Amino acid sequence: MPAGAHRFQVGNLRCTVLSDGYVANPASWLFPNADEPALTAALERRGSDCASVVSPYTCLLIETGREIVLADAGLGNGSNTSGAILARLEMAGVRPPDVTTVIFTHAHPDHIAGAVDGRDPRALRPMFPNARCVMSEAEWDFWSSAHVDMRGMRVGAEAKAAMHLTARRCLDALRHQVELICRETEIAPGIHAIPAPGHTPGHLALLMSSEGKELLNLGDAATDPLHLKYPQWENGFDLDSSRALATRRTLAEWAAVDRIPVMAFHFPFPSVGLLTARADAGWDWTAGG
């Protein structure tokens, strides 16, 4: 596979992790309640900048044999460090009209903006014209409401405003393709959406299963491996921190106990690895698996 793509099997499901680029966010946004010396030491140990943290955008292509499913669509042309998803799909042999289903773990811009053609901002069009776009009903209701309350997020006001505007514009452009779910649902053979709220009200995790093999896509239930290593460290992008922490712990414990490989949208490329429980109640994420 070309750089920026990583292919593997989950039973009969052919999975390909596709990079859409990356973003750098202030460390204070990603870890607002972390002990500063401990955070600095943790970031230095892995060679990261202590002021800002680079987070990849990694979408997941799943080919079932009958359906072509894209889990999250990236940021598209929303920044000068993103917008690679169409080229990655083409290199994987998939054209936009081939995609039958797009699943949004949630409606933040880096997950949904790549699903619309934004070359003409006055007339956004679906990027995947033949796909149904599956998302949580709670997510749709939140972003479509008359008053979107984002006070729980601890990021800059401009970032919040951009999230709100992008979600409203993208959902409006995709409204005729959207299919809403309200509980755990098998979206395509071997692909289950699981409610995982906290990061957003309708955030979803995805479980891929086939022939006794599994993969758990955390979406943004954890946006950095340090959120699993130190689960008491909150994420400023979470709308409801306490609920997000509970979801994160539930998913991590499940994956660690059952030895289910996990991927997460913002984890280091290729974003797939295994969780191991730590003595201090956290989990180590190791790439591979």
Give residue 176's pLDDT.
97
Task: Give domain status of residue 261, yes or no.
Answer: no
What is the predicted pLDDT for the residue at 3?
67
Return all residues near 267 (Cβ < 8 A) that are at least 6 apart: 56, 58, 222, 224, 225, 273, 285
For residue 232, give every residue at least 6 positions away whose Cβ sits within 8 Å of its Cβ, in sequence order, or none.
33, 245
Burial classification of residue 21, based on how many CB atoms lie within 10 Å of its CB (0-12 exposed, 13-18 middle, 19 or more buried): buried
- In a domain, residue 182? The reply is yes
- How many domains does the structure of the chain reveal? 1
| pLDDT tens per residue across span 38-55 | 999 999 999 888 899 999
Give the integer Cα–Cα distance in Å for 204 and 198. 10
| 180: in domain | yes
| 84, containing H or E segment | none
In a domain, 262, yes or no: no
In a domain, 242, yes or no: no
In this predicted model, what pLDDT tens digit does every residue of 114-169 receive, in sequence order?
999 977 767 789 999 999 999 999 999 999 999 999 999 999 999 999 999 999 99
Is 108 part of any domain? Answer: yes
Residue 238 lies in a domain: no
Structure token pair of residue 236? 């400023």
Q: What radius of gyration do the chain's Cα atoms show?
A: 18
Block residue for tokens 């081939």: 98
Q: What is the pLDDT of residue 289?
A: 63
State which residues form the domain around 132: 5-218
Query: Exposed, middle or buried, 108 (CB in 10 Å: 0-12/13-18/19+)?
Result: buried
We report the CATH number of the domain holding residue 122 as 3.60.15.10
| Residue 93 lies inside a defined structural domain of this protein | yes
pLDDT, position 1: 45
What percent of the chain has a predicted confidence (pLDDT) above 90?
A: 90
Average pLDDT, the chain: 95
Return per-residue pLDDT of the chain as tens, 289 residues: 446 899 999 999 999 999 999 999 999 999 999 999 999 999 999 988 889 999 999 999 999 999 999 999 999 887 788 889 999 999 999 999 999 999 999 999 999 999 999 777 677 899 999 999 999 999 999 999 999 999 999 999 999 999 999 999 999 999 999 999 999 999 999 999 999 999 999 999 999 999 999 999 999 999 999 999 999 999 999 999 999 999 999 999 999 999 999 999 999 999 999 999 999 889 999 998 6
What pTM does this model have?
A: 0.95
For 83-227, list the strands marked E by DSSP: 101-103, 116-117, 125-126, 132-136, 178-181, 185-188, 191-195, 204-210, 213-217
